[in-house]
Amino acid sequence: MAVACGCASTEKGTLLHPNHPEYSIDLGNPDIIENLEKGRLKIWYIAKGTRSEGLHGEIEGIDISPEKGMTLQTEAGTLIYAGSWDERTQLFSMSGWLPADSKDIYPSWKHIQSR
């Protein structure tokens, strides 16, 4: 299965934050999964529920070489590539593929309340 994220994972399927290695995401346990016509969008919260909360998204099933700022039209709406995991500078940074309009999922308490 292709993963279009522009990131490197550890052997355990965990991504360590490049500037804050005490924070990580478990690639096997995304917070949000959105089925797309030709794949799935997976989104993780970093430092969930804190003032430093950030987002990271990956698309599975679509083979694409993303560049920062690139957009992708899907039936779920427009996605934008916010840069690779390794380009993250702050915990609250955004990386990977995310909805162009993320107001319904960011911050995390908005997503939880909208369910």
pLDDT tens digits for range 73-92: 988 899 999 999 999 888 88
DSSP string, 19-50: S-TT-EEETT--SEEEEETTEEEEEEEESTTS
- Name the band, by pLDDT with cuts 50, 70 and 90, for residue 4: very low
Number of neighbours of residue 77 by Cβ within 10 angstroms: 12
SS in 3 state form for 47-90? Answer: CCCCCCCEEEEEEECCCCCCCCCCEEEECCEEEEECCCHHHCCC
Q: How confident is the model over 13-31, as pLDDT tens digits?
A: 888 888 888 888 888 899 9
- Name the band, by pLDDT with cuts 50, 70 and 90, for residue 112: low
The domain segmentation of the chain, as residue ranges, is 3-114
- Which of 8-12, 16-20, 46-50 comes out lowest in average pLDDT? 8-12
